[in-house]
Structures are given as C-alpha cells and as structure tokens.
Amino acid sequence: MAHQVLAGIAILAVAVIYGTDVFCAVVQRAAMARVGDGVLTAAMGYIHLYGDQRLKFPGAIGLITTLAAAVTGALTGRGIGSVVAGFVAVAALIVWFGIYGRISAPVNARLTAAAEANQVPPDARALQQTWDSVINPRAGLQGIALLSLYLSSVLS
C-alpha cells in the first residue's frame, strides 16, 4: 500500500514537470524562435524567474517520492518488474536533474538576470538555442519516469 501511495504522489509531481517540459518543447520553443532578442530575453527571463521558483517543489517532491516508492517496492517484496521500473524512473529523473543543473539552470540564470536588469545580452539567441537543445531530452526523460512509475505501480 505504501508503495502505491508514494508512486501516486510521484506520478502527480513528475507529471507537472513533464507537462511543463512538453509545453516548452512543442509550443514555447517555436514561439520564441519568432520573436526579437529583446522579447526573447524579457519573456524567457521572467518565465525562468517564476518557473525556477515555483517548480522546485514539484520537482523535488517528484524525485524524493520516486526514490521512496522504488525503495519501498524493493523492501516490500514487489515483483522484479515493479522494482526495476521504479529504479528506471529514479535514474531518468537523476539524469534529468543533471541536464537541468548543468545546461538549463545556467541559461535560466543569465536570462533572468538580463530581464531583471532590462538588458539584452548579445548572446541571447545562442543562450536560448542552448536551452532549446536539451528540452526534448528533458521531456523524454520525464516521460520515461512517468511511464516507469506507472509500470512500477501496476506490476506486482
């Protein structure tokens, strides 16, 4: 029972980040490619300002409850398929956090600082292209985590 509750909470939290990343990959990237550097800097700077503040909680809860669900599943004797799926979800989220921390977060910080200073960095477009280059893998990793969490909860 604890495994399913933890997996359910993890699914809800991970789904928030998955949905955000999919939206960015499908809509935001295309929209930002069509605007000038000033609009790009202001829009993305403020999106990152609020996103980085407000999405920390579901991101952290997703990782913590995914790990807790995987460990609980292993300790309570769930089947090997369930346990493997749980740890695949953990691995996908750890890789996601690595990409976010190494590539996305530094871009977010630069664009946020520029937006708050009402400045347009000369490399604004390159910064956004760097950010865009990892959004599909990020969305994919979140999708893998969601699917794995689901499998972990339904396999015995």
| pLDDT at residue 1, as a whole number | 86
Question: Domain extents for the chain?
Answer: 2-154
CA 55 from centre of chain: 9
Q: Is 1 helix (H, G, I), strand (E, B) or coil?
A: coil
What is the full per-residue pLDDT of the chain (156 aa) written as tens digits? 899 999 999 999 999 999 999 999 999 999 999 999 999 999 999 999 999 999 999 999 999 999 999 999 999 989 999 999 999 999 999 999 999 999 999 999 999 999 999 999 999 999 999 999 999 999 999 999 999 999 999 997
| pLDDT at residue 25, as a whole number | 98
CA distance 61 to 110: 26
| pLDDT at residue 71, as a whole number | 96
pTM for this predicted structure? 0.95
Q: Which amino acid belongs to residue 92?
A: A
Whole-number CA gyration radius for the chain: 17
Burial status of residue 4 (CB atoms within 10 A of its CB: 0-12, 13-18, 19 or more): middle
CA distance 83 to 11: 16
The answer to whether the CB of 77 falls within 8 A of the CB of 4 is: no
